[in-house]
Structure 1
Amino acid sequence: MKYAVQWVRSLVFNFSMYVAMPTYALIYLPWAIVSPHGAVAACHAYCRYVKWTARWMVGLHSEVRGTPPTGEVLVAAKHQSFLDIIMIFDAIPHGKFIMKAILLYAPVLGQYAYRIGCIPVNRGKRGAAIAKMLADVEKGDKLPGQLVIYSQGTRLAPGVKRPYKIGTAVLYEQMGQTCYPVATNAGVFWPRRGVFRKPGVAVVEFLEPIAPGLPKEEFLAKLEAEVETASDRLLLEAGFQPKET
């Protein structure tokens, strides 16, 4: 019975979340058209709404640990859930994500992602897209901000291991900026698929920054070790028990 009640609450929450997306988009549309700052404000407002409704609708609280960056940096994050996207974006002043180019065609989401400066990439063409973004920032055509990349390339369920892609190291070298690793346990409470949302405290943790200048292989090994170790610690804190293999 308790599970059934939580499932219904989760269903209502999900419905509310998806209705709110176009609603906020329309409210902020005039400002977003005039300035990308309006689009950024709209996305922050939506993230705060989702976190607020998650607290009282399904008992899911969110906590940000560490020191989120405010300057132009690279953020290399663990990705388990749509919730960690919301939490990371809301924690930094102007986040922009490396995203699949096809997502630009998603209604509302695609238009706002483009307006805030997200970088759509096709397979094999990431380097050219990043070079253009850096040039646009330098010229003042794009807002500076924090570039977020998911180093494993996709959402992974808690406890699932996958090697970190070399693209993150290439980006780190190309940008010449400090990298902030980010760990999370969000997938324990908000899984990749399905309706159910588990009550508890989801955590996103900004770890100690990695200074620019490391060799690519050394950087990637350090990034993976730190993010995976911290994420495993957060999973244990959330009561997650990995399946025995």
Structure 2
Amino acid sequence: MMFLRSALFNLYFFLLTFVLGIGGLGVRWFARRRALAYAQFWARLLLGGLRRICGIYPVLIGFEYLPPAGPVLLASQHQSAYDTLVWLTLLAHPTYVMKRELKKIPLFGPLTPLAGMILVDRAGGAAALRGLLAETRRAVAEGRQIVIFPEGTRTLPGERRALQPGVAAMAAAVKLPVVPVATDSGLRWGKDAFFKRPGPIHLVVCPPLPAGLPREALLAGLQAAWDAAPLPRAGARCG
């Protein structure tokens, strides 16, 4: 049964993305200001299909730590493609920090800058960092919620890797607290996995790390918050 449900969802995913990708041509040509709303519509349809077909649904914990409006800097664990979809449905004006190569994805890729996403050239050195900070200031001035994945790539549940320092530079540039987010999405939708396992995906928003922390303290605080998050794999409480 899991095989059939996973196969059906994968087919749904690719067909929906293709159809809406074609529709996105109209957004690019005639309704550029609707690019973010269009991406959010796509994500809602995908996650709605994931819930109905595979029985995977979100459980939200600690969302009182998010401000009701205005800019915020979220630093999330990244275990699954789910993580790149779900915040489009949970935040009013999300902006993801993404690698520039994703702009080359057919159909949907060219919509990413129109939707206000921050595209980063990982090999760009100091110039790329200056661009990242300029785009971060722009997003904050627009009151958007910035989502960054400091691990830099999808990781397995329980796996630890050195965190990328860009989040610390962003926090220093805009003088915002950093809100850690832990997840166990990889238990349901693994990295590059065909199978989608039914059950809850937990999203745990932890207490914000204060603005002005030195880089090493911020990165260590992020990892500590993730490690202590009240996920099924850990009995500790967040914060």
TM norm structure 2: 0.86
Runs of 4+ in 1 over 6 A off after TM superposition: none
User: Unaligned 5+ residue runs, structure 1?
Assistant: 238-245
Bigger drift between 189-198 and 121-130 goes to: 121-130
Aligned counterpart in structure 2 of residue 131 of structure 1, from 123, 130, 133: 133
- Report if aligned partners of 1:64, 1:87 keep a CA contact under 8 Å in 2: no
Instruction: Say which is worse superposed, 185-194 or 113-122, in terms of deviation.
Output: 113-122
Distance 1:104 1:31, change over 3 A: closer
Give unpaired runs (5+ residues) of structure 2: 235-239
Partner of 2:77: 78
State the partner residue of 1:229.
228
Q: In structure 2, what is the Cα distance between the partners aligned to 1:106 and 1:35?
A: 20
Change (3 A) 1:165 1:87: same
Residue range with higher mean Cα deviation, 129-138 or 205-214: 129-138
The Cα of 1:176 is off from its aligned counterpart by 1.4
Report the residue type matching 1:132 in the other structure: A
Aligned residue number for residue 4 of structure 2: 8
Counterpart amino acid of residue 23 in structure 1: V
Mapped to 2, the partners of 1:164 and 1:182 lie a distance apart of 14
The residue matched to 1:194 in structure 2 has which SS?
coil
Q: Does residue 207 of structure 2 align to residue 208 of structure 1?
A: yes
Determine the C-alpha separation between the residues in 2 that align with 1:228 and 1:33.
45
Length-normalised TM-score, structure 1: 0.84
Residue correspondences, number: 228
Task: Give the superposed CA RMSD.
Answer: 2.2
CA displacement, residues 16-70 of structure 1 (integer Å, 9 cap, x when unaligned) = 0121123234446545545554111111111111121111211111223222443
Distance in structure 2 (CA, Å) of the matches to 1:190 and 1:135 = 33
Q: Is the 8 A contact 1:75 1:149 kept in 2?
A: yes
1:145-181 deviation per Cα after TM superposition (whole angstroms, max 9, x unaligned): 1121111111001111112222221221122122221
- Structure 1 counterpart SS, 2:109: helix
Tell me whether 1:23 sits opposite 2:53 in the alignment: no
Identical pairs, percent: 27
